[in-house]
Structure 1
């Protein structure tokens, strides 16, 4: 029954995600720039999007703002930009003032309803109508943050409404359930693990079991907080999810292309370096009105962003989250990839990588 409900849920999301037509989205130059961006070519795509935005292309304006806000694996090109260069690329030309409003703010002032919703989506306010509005506009992935806020700070009845009306992205259902149910040790990770293993053995996922609690720690917080041992009885379940879930597709695609026979260990290690389940699922299209989620997840951009995010992850003390030897204990192939990328970064010689 749970499997049938999940299929119906996903199907209903597909029906509701028809993209809105944005002014400028059909411009040949814009479409070419989008294709270049999806091919992970920021050096040529972003300046062209900036030019189009200055010329009044609404689609380019919204896309640039969303890339600036949501890109969790910046390209080498963007990483090498100075603050002023970054502002000049992503925002309107300065009028000499102190502040540099985003293109979203510019479009909000022009009464652009979608721009307003996308701007509101970044605020820590419980707003179910905003979630509904974004879904109606075809911007399902933009509901991620408002959904997390509603699940965290909303009432029990509101969380139930999110589930009953299917306003939640499927991969975020465990987050809502975690906040709806009675507290458990490492409850967010437990909820994610139950979601991953259902409908097979969810009743066996208990925080009273040390192996379960350890895997829950990994899913909740990532590297260093739980088990990455293949001997953990939940390891295969999580491994299968990373390799087969559409939400984690960029990770699986990167590891398949770059590590081949070591793809399983690579994928699990990337999951951990990214910060666990709730961070891996955030690799999304910045603007579904012009780049459908399926198209984004299948792109070179997605898999390279997934890798860069994992490779460049840092701890709270600003050290590398994991050293190369620590990564190599779990995946030698991924460790070699990360080592090469970090070496370029530390040498100040990051270049656009066209190899993957």
Structure 2
């Protein structure tokens, strides 16, 4: 794994030498111990802590951290719906495939070509870096610029980042201001309906009635789907089983679970939710079908759909006490691995989540996944 570090540092050194005039990249911060430690940990496969450290440094104005994050985003096709999953071996593998020779060693010409291409990306790289700026005007401008120039993968990630931040805001003036900004983007069609539906599903409203009302108001600007979804945002409505059973497919309820609202429910509501989810699972025998509701919401972002599928799996996992149905019997692992949603990182993360252990790639098999989840289910049962 260490050659990845050398490869990235070589690339950044090359940028600082050959593109300094056009890109104005300052790398003096790269020697900062916190940044170097975060890089080392990241390369060793520890995703969460180093990423948080990089984000902290970036948001505190460290140019090297901001530009490093900008380059990491640029190396993969689609920024992930869940950035903690995205910063993993997934982008390392992509980087390696693009910039290594047949013997698996760094390809100097490929790296040189990449450095040359950066000269044509300076404006976009700057915008990506601005996305991490603590300056509200800067990061809003970057968000809008992505959408205006058609960089949908970056734009939708930026929008999700804003929704995620919104869910933790305390100051009502900030909440109102952010909602107003996002609403304007939606009103001028820079945020497509079927993009923010999925993002709204990830909001953690956490019992804040003001946020809930603001989000409902925002949802009402969209189509019938969102009006139904705004009803489901109220956990008290979950007691109405007819609302769930009358849906042709359990899409709305799956998204309800994806939003994490099971934690806000009473015990009786959880039981009702469990029954409904068990019914939904019986209609969905494999992971590809679990993903289809998400695909319909976000058809142009298959990796985002994979992350959404993971969210649904995680919701199922959290309710396994009430279900008693092993997750391994729900997922057709072989079909999942061959499907367009397949992502080894997703499987590894689920296995780590289930066992608390890091797994090497040789263990990323359907048997490992099934065993890991089954073990967790047994452990939960024993702790009852």
TM-score w.r.t. the length of structure 1 is: 0.40
Decide which structure has the larger Cα Rg and report it. Answer: 2
Point out which structure has higher relative CO (alpha carbons under 8 A, 6+ apart): 1
TM-score w.r.t. the length of structure 2 is: 0.38
